């Protein structure tokens, strides 16, 4: 029987991310995709050698075609990775962008349509 060794990302995220196993597994899957893309583009295998520019590049270039909610999930995983590496306070300003908040569903506030406003009732009735 062969055992599969966990990747550095998996070890890093398991230690750093408390919570339900499904949430941790989702962070691990996204973290492995981030690591693979950084390794292919920059040639850096170890997450301890990453800089803010590597995660910023991933968030700009590799998540551009994803939905706002998926971009937000990758930003959250990048934040967990930065915190696990001990760089979150320094890297956080560099990782801000349009991916930090998923857009709310539905029409913009003030757009026509939607539920009508409540009508004021007179008390003298």
Sign of CA dihedral 104, 35, 16, 95: negative
Strands (E) across 1-125 are located at none
How high is the pLDDT of residue 113? 62
How high is the pLDDT of residue 4? 57
How high is the pLDDT of residue 7? 84
How high is the pLDDT of residue 18? 78
How high is the pLDDT of residue 102? 79
How high is the pLDDT of residue 119? 64
Averaged pLDDT in 10-residue chunks for the chain of 125 residues: 71 82 91 95 94 97 93 95 94 93 66 64 61
How high is the pLDDT of residue 44? 94
Sign of CA dihedral 36, 50, 23, 99: negative
pTM: 0.77
How high is the pLDDT of residue 3? 55
How high is the pLDDT of residue 104? 60
């Amino acid at each position: 029987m062969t055992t599969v060794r966990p990747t550095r990302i998996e070890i890093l995220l398991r230690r750093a991310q408390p919570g339900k196993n499904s949430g941790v597994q989702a962070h691990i899957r996204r973290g492995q995709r981030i690591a693979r893309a950084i390794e292919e583009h920059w040639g850096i295998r170890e997450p301890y050698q990453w800089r803010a520019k590597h995660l910023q590049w991933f968030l700009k270039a590799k998540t551009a075609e994803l939905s706002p909610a998926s971009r937000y999930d990758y930003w959250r995983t990048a934040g967990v990775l930065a915190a696990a590496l001990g760089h979150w306070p320094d890297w956080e300003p560099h990782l801000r962008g349009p991916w930090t908040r998923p857009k709310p569903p539905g029409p913009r506030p003030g757009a026509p349509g939607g539920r009508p406003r409540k009508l004021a009732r007179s008390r003298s009735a």
